[in-house]
Amino acid sequence: MVSRKEMLQRDSAVVPTNAGKPPIPASRLPALLRFPLLAFISLSIHTFLYEFVAPLSNYELSKVSRTLTEPWQPAAFLGFKILELAVGWYLKFDYIDLAALTILTHGPFFYFLTTFYQITWTTSATCLSVDVLALALPFQLLRPKAPAHNAAAPKSAVPNKDIINDVSIITLNIVLAAGIYAVTVYGSYSTWLPAFLASHFDGLRSFEIAHTTVLPSLIACAIPLGWSARTFLFDPSTAAQPNLGDIKKTAFNPETASLGETFVHNVWGWSFRTKVLLRRVGVLLAMQGANCWMRTFVTIDGAESAGAAGWAALWVAASAIVGIVYGWVGDV
């Protein structure tokens, strides 16, 4: 296996450039029409597929769902769906980013339903797949794939390409993130979580999985989260390269810098790779916490706001640890 140091030395000989056409042509639609069209396609896919899946799953989700009687409740769901799309669109994520982010932000909710409300794995996996498809497919149609996710992209467009595409590094990063999520959940099962959920959820059907699960099975279940964390956090930050504008903005001369510029440099004077990682970790924590809390509290019958917040906080904490560890791995 080629060492990481050798990979970095090999890639350092490549002069970064933004030249060259994207591997997939960008949409030719007028810019003003792209996001409204993207939102329309996404919401249409989501509505159609859930209507199709519901009878096939014997309406499992509706049996544990809260009746939405207030006008603001469906409006909140619609608004959050559009927010998810807006975050991906205006932060320039591609469809692979959106697929990974959706698994990370929606997965904990469906895992909760399967673990504590005895919703079948097939129903949860199918509904999660619908969410991923509804969010990612419009991006695939309207936005080119990012170089970090394109195996055909030239090395000049993807620094550290050998690291990103190395099978052993890919495997280790997936298992590493999956292990962090699994250990966090397993430790919570063994300590505070069962009593906390029993106090804040009226209607939990079973704690059997929480009491009988073993760590290896949790790691196996968390492999999709590990893949998603590597795809959304590690690859884009490892492949990050500043353009000329970024270099000019971050140029710092301590002899001529003002007090404010010195403060900003000391607080935010990270490498470009670290800044990309921090931004993506911030997006993940915000979207994961908000989505997990809202869907758990608003849709599950008998859920309390504090209970939903506790469940969301568990996953936000695990994702924060993954981000910290990936930051350390990137510096090794």
Answer whether 0.75 is exceeded by the pTM: yes
Higher pLDDT, 151 or 139: 139
């495997």: which residue's tokens? 171
b/e string for 258-271 if b means 16 or more Cβ within 10 A?
Answer: eeeeeeebeeeeee
Give domain limits for the chain: 28-146+156-331
Structure tokens at 254: 């301590």
The residues, ordered by sequence, that sit 6+ positions from 288 with a Cβ below 8 Å of its Cβ are: 104, 105, 108, 312, 315, 316, 319
In the chain, the percentage of residues whose pLDDT exceeds 70 is 83
pLDDT tens per residue across span 119-132: 999 999 999 999 99
pLDDT tens per residue across span 159-216: 888 889 999 999 999 999 999 999 999 999 999 999 999 999 998 999 999 999 999 9
pLDDT tens per residue across span 279-325: 999 999 999 999 999 999 999 999 999 999 999 999 999 999 999 99
To the nearest whole number, what is the mean pLDDT of the chain? 86
What is the spatial distance between Cα 216 and Cα 24, in angstroms, rounded to a whole number? Answer: 40
Question: SS in 3 state form for the chain?
Answer: CCCHHHHHHHHHCCCCCCCCCCCCCCCCCCHHHHHHHHHHHHHHHHHHHHHHHHHHCCCHHHHCECCCCCCHHHHHHHHHHHHHHHHHHHCCCCHHHHHHHHHHHHHHHHHHHHHHCCCCHHHHHHHHHHHHHHHHHHHHHHCCCCHHHCCCCCCCCCCCHHHHHCHHHHHHHHHHHHHHHHHHHHHHHHCCHHHHHHHHECCCCCCHHHHHCCHHHHHHHCHHHHHHHHHHHHHHHHCCCCCHHHHHHHCCCCCCCCHHHHHHHHHHCCCHHHHHHHHHHHHHHHHHHHHHHHHHHHHECCECHHHHHHHHHHHHHHHHHHHHHHHHHHHC
